[in-house]
Copies of this chain bind each other. A is one copy, B any other.
Amino acid sequence: MSSTHGTLFRATTFGESHGGALGVVIDGCPPGLLLDLDAIQAELDRRRPGQSSLTTARQEPDRVEVLSGLFEGRTLGSPLALLVWNRDADASAYAPFRDRYRPSHADLTTDARYGHRAWAGGGRASARETVGRVAAGAVARQVLAARTDQPVEIVAWVDQVGDIVAGCDPATVRRDAVEANAVRCPDPAAAAEMEALIRAVRKDKDTVGGVVRCVCRHVPAGLGAPVFDKLEAELARAMLSLPAAKGFESGAGFASVAMRGSTHNDLFEPAPADDPHAAVLPSGARVRTRTNHSGGIQGGISNGMPVTLSVAFKPVATIFREQDTVDAEGRPTTILPRGRHDPCVVPRAVPMVEAMAALVLCDQLLRLRALRP
């Protein structure tokens, strides 16, 4: 029901894949911010299809328009409405799906919940809905930069495709290395293998899943809360709300299960004055941890160390093979999709993961400021 993310920095997205337009209304954006529209457009460009031969051929310019909330280049504190028109909304490929349910898609569950469905496209469940999130995330990043001493740096990358796992150190990954190849994997050898796998899978009319990993540097200590709004809980909700996401880890995540406490515990030590990663204690002392198995979050609250997380994406549901399914009357039938679909979603999921991280951190930062003396 709710298309709104956040408590204070509230992003409400709207739009279906083949409707008139998509967008987002951001309520609660702090005023007076000199908004960099090019930076928003740049994120939309990273998200949009057709960037490389690995992704769908749908051609959408996805030019962002500002409808409100901005005056003389600065945010007003009133709702910032950002719009992207649907131009290349060719629904013809969807005609066969009007009365037949694509396996593992949202078509059937949408019908079960709403009883009425935009069959001409994936509707609201389409990855195209993330246009609004990515635009909002780009605004959130600018708020984070304006409201922190050390600008928060959010970098995501493809860490796994199929069974090919990259070897990247979250401490050092940079965005230019991520953007250096079409897979968005900063490990060049792994990237080449992943690209080959994606091409092979596509040739085989099949699809494959992947993992996006993300590090958020210079996150101030104190974000989050001890109970339902633990920072991990908010991040997990944000990430699992992305299309095709089926898993989330924070810090050592599932691997921590097999560890002993004596290994997993992150011991505290004084932080050097020039280390941007540190918690400030009430006494004013700056402290860091020797290791970071906690992924920058302890007891649901950031501890100043880099926040690290991973998101698992299942293989894309649309495969260009005939599959068994049922029709609207529940009768067995088959389906053979046409249209434009990625064989692997993770390269384009990278900016989505970053956007969701930015939305969570920005909202939490504003919430923390409300508490401060």
Contact of A116 among B71, B303, B319 (CB under 8 A): B71
B222 touches A112 (CB 8 A): yes
Nearest B residue to A241, CB-CB: B233
Q: How many copies does the complex hold?
A: 4
Assess whether A101 is interfacial by the CB under 8 Å rule.
yes
A-B contact pairs, 10 of them (CB 8 A): A1-B229, A104-B266, A108-B298, A113-B368, A210-B257, A246-B256, A257-B312, A257-B313, A281-B328, A281-B330
Residue from A243, A262, A318 with most neighbouring chain B CB atoms (10 Å): A262
The interface residues of chain A, by DSSP majority, are classed as: mixed
A232 and B245 in contact (CB under 8 A), knowing A104-B265, A109-B303, A301-B110? Answer: yes
How far apart sit A107 and B74, CA to CA, in the bound complex (Å)?
17
Q: How far is the CA of A25 from the CA of B110 in the complex (A)?
A: 20
Interface flags, A243-282, vs B, CB<8A=1, else 0? 1011111111110111111111111111000000001111
The answer to whether the Cβ of A185 comes within 8 Å of any Cβ in the partner chain is: no
A300-332 to B contact mask, C-beta < 8 Å, 1/0: 111110000000111111110101111011111
State whether B14 touches A69 (Cβ < 8 A). yes
A319 touches B15 (CB 8 A): no
- Would B81 and A15 count as touching, CB distance under 8 A? yes
Q: What are the residues of chain B within 8 A of A319 when measuring CB–CB? A: 261-262, 265
